[in-house]
Structures are given as structure tokens and as C-alpha cells.
A = this chain, B = another copy of it.
């Protein structure tokens, strides 16, 4: 005979749900979002609050329709604890993931599931106007099968020197006289958050990916450049001004090659898809035999595709770049002594091609003791890391940050 422990409202509309609870109890929501199912003890551990208080919060959240009991967890020899979960369709997050040439948008529910198709947009980010991007976003919101009022916030993650605090990207989508976040938020009337793409990817990998629960993680975003997202002590590490993790531009080569940043000898000049593509063209001009020859104009996607098919030249191009990434990584490991390193980002679909030369470089350049307890992973999030991480960034901001934005928006409408 099952006992009814607490009355659970299964009809979401009946419960008077209130976004204020998301803010007030953000720590508990956060724990449940990242772990799907937890007991009161688990939540108490994660939020650092006592069990009696945690149980009080949970019953409040149940009353408001945010949380539901989910049976019992196992016990190694004692009373079985009640499981708790978030109810998925209470609210949603709109995650927008951008790179140099495209953006993806999707709506994510409170169980971290995609509830719309992933929309794709193509452009050259260097030339994209904020107003044009806004039309993409507005049309997505128009067409999505979710009520706009149920969206907690929009998280835009993108490359460049992003000032998360002030909502500005110093490299792209600049809006004269206004911050990018203000510009978007004013038009769509939903809280908007801006962050760096590699930071999002790192958070995605550390919460839902191969590095889940590792407290010190370095996540490489193998793509047009070589991005780096750092999780230190279980928290996103941003440095003094939010610009930490500029891995792509660490000066380590004496090659005289001019980098996109204006300096010479950056890691990016030998180790990124930019370098790989350039080396491919160079090699083909010199008569290299390769299946890449079938393309009119070779780009990075072609090289990845042909490497997967087994084209030796393509594999060699990636391997060379990977060795150089390994050189940079050796430095990073000496400085940060991480618990895990993750290869993620667009180019990590051929992660195993990258891995061997990276390991080779690490064997050559790392003090064995420095690397002994560091685990290496290839992402298994299939290029969704940035979208997933973007949604997670919203969850990270559920407390005061969200409250602030909501206050601003309420003032506007009033």
C-alpha cells in the first residue's frame, strides 16, 4: 500500500506559479536543474542549507507547482528518501548559440530538454548588424510554440571580448549609444543575458557532459580559433575583467605569422581551423594528393568531413594542429593543474584525431606529476554544448541577476 506523503498538484495551471519563487529559491532550482532527481539530503549538501530548511523550501516549491515528488531513492540500510524533480513545463529558457558564421536557437525546458527544433541562421559575424540579428530572434520568438511569457530569459552566447556584467561584446554586434543587451531586451521585453561562447561550452560540459561534477576543468573549444572555458573550484572563472582564458592568443610560436588579433606567433596561427584551412590550401597548391581536391574552395568543414572519411592529408592537417594545441595545453596544465581537460566545440567531432597528437605533445612537454591526475575527455554533447551551456547560464543567473533585469523590464512597461 502506497502512502500519500504530500498533496501534489498535477495540474500546472491550478497552481499560482510565480517567477519570484525562481529567484527566491534559485539555489534549490539550480541543483534540481543540474541533477534532474535529488533527495532533500542531496539538495541540502549542494545549497549548503540545513535539511529542515531545505524541506521547507521544497514543500513551498511543490505548492507552487515547480517541483514534484518522484518516488523514493534507494537506501543502503535505512529509511528511503523521497526523490524530488523539477516539473519540466513550468517555464522555459531561450538559448541562442553563435559562432563566426552561424547561430542556433532553441527553447529548453526545466528538465534541460529541447522543446523546439533547433533553428539555424547563417551570416558573417564580422559583418552582421545587431538589427539584423534582432529580426532573426524576433521571428523565432513569433514562431515558437511556447508562450512568450513563459520564457524566463534569453541567453546569447558568442565569440569575442564579451563584457558579461554590462552586456557588451567589444568585438561584434556593437550598438552605438546602447549596450547589446539593452538593445535586444528593449525590443523583445524578455530578460536577456550575454556571455562568451567558450564559457557556455565549458559550463555545458561540466554540468551535463563528460566532465560533469569535476571541480577543476579546462574545456577547449576547437573551432575557428581555440577557445577556452575554465571551471575553477566548481565556478566559472573569468579573471579580473572577464577576459581570462584567451588561449587562442597565447604567444608561443616564433613563426612570425600574423594573427587575427594583430600580434604574431599566437597559438591560433598554428593550431586552429584557420591555420588548418590555410595549410590545406598551401599543400594542395604544392600538389598534395587529397580528396579535398574535389571541392572548388576548401573550407574547414570539408577538411573535417574528409578526415572522417579517412583522407590521409586531412588527418595529417588536423594532427599537426593538434600537436600544437597540445603544446599550449602543456603550458595551461602546468599553470592550472586541472582535474579534467575536455575537447569540445565544432571540430571535436573528430576528437580522436586530435587526441593522439595532443597526448604526444603532453608526454613531451609535461612534468609527469603535473598530468598524473588529469583526465582527458572528448565531448559527447554532439555540438549542442553551447546551447545546453547557454541554458545553464540562465540557471546560474536565476538569483539576483534575473531579479535586476525583471525590475528594469517592469519599469519600462509601467
Chain B residues, Cβ within 8 Å of A370: 243, 246
Chain B residues, Cβ within 8 Å of A228: 335
Residue ID in chain B nearest A230 by CB atoms: B335
**B334 with A250: CB separation less than 8 A:** yes
Q: Mark A301-341, 1 if CB is under 8 A from B, else 0.
A: 00000000000000000000000000100111011111100
Q: How far is the CA of A98 from the CA of B49 in the complex (A)?
A: 42
**A337 with B241: CB separation less than 8 A:** yes
Chain B residues, Cβ within 8 Å of A250: 330-331, 334-335
From A72-80, A100-108, A130-138, A232-240, the one touching the partner chain is A232-240
Task: Tell me whether A389 is interfacial, beta carbon within 8 Å.
Answer: no
Task: Tell me whether A249 is interfacial, beta carbon within 8 Å.
Answer: yes
**A339 with B261: CB separation less than 8 A:** no
Task: Tell me whether A251 is interfacial, beta carbon within 8 Å.
Answer: yes
Contact of A240 among B161, B330, B337 (CB under 8 A): B337
Chain B residues, Cβ within 8 Å of A233: 233
**B251 with A331: CB separation less than 8 A:** yes
Task: Tell me whether A401 is interfacial, beta carbon within 8 Å.
Answer: no
Chain B residues, Cβ within 8 Å of A251: 327, 330-331, 334, 364-365
Q: Which residues of A pack against B, CB within 8 Å?
A: 161, 170, 215-216, 228, 232-233, 237-247, 249-252, 254, 261-263, 265, 327, 330-332, 334-339, 364-367, 369-370, 372-374
A-B pairs with lowest CB-CB distance, top 7: A239-B337, A244-B337, A240-B339, A251-B365, A246-B334, A250-B331, A216-B240
